[in-house]
Amino acid sequence: MVTTVSEECARQILALQEKEKEEINMLKQEKQRLLKFIDNMKEEKNSLQTQVNYTTLSQVFPNALRTSGLSPPSRSPFSASRCSGAGPGHVAQQ
């Protein structure tokens, strides 16, 4: 009887450890996805800041930008990604 209880406890412990291992792996994947999302948001912020800076300069010094040959920055490649469902609340499909 003692061995049976001990064996059952050992099985339950192993099952819990396996479940925890799976949860840890899922959390690591979610962390990586969120870090990538943060990097994309930083890039989008920088791109938008460049556009704001150019617009501000073009309003303050309209002739200087035309004669300098500077062209307006391209639109942010990240603006469409905000609607892609890749935000912080998005759960990755497995």
State the Cα–Cα distance between residues 39 and 72, nearest whole angstrom: 24
**Shortest CA distance to 73 belongs to which of 90, 42, 39, 49?**
49
Give the model's pLDDT for residue 76. 56
Per the CB < 8 A criterion, the answer to whether 33 and 92 are in contact is yes
Residues 18-63 pLDDT 10s: 999 999 999 999 999 999 999 999 999 999 999 999 888 888 887 7
User: Which position has the higher pLDDT, 53 or 68?
Assistant: 53
State residue 38's pLDDT score.
Answer: 98
28, 51, 53, 59, 81 from 72: Cα distances, Å: 40, 7, 10, 12, 22
- Stronger pLDDT, 21 or 70, i.e. the higher one: 21
Q: What pLDDT shows up at residue 83?
A: 47
Whether residue 69 is predicted with pLDDT greater than 60 in this model: the reply is yes
Which pLDDT belongs to residue 85?
Answer: 52
Of residues 72, 69, 66, 40, the one with CA closest to residue 53: 72
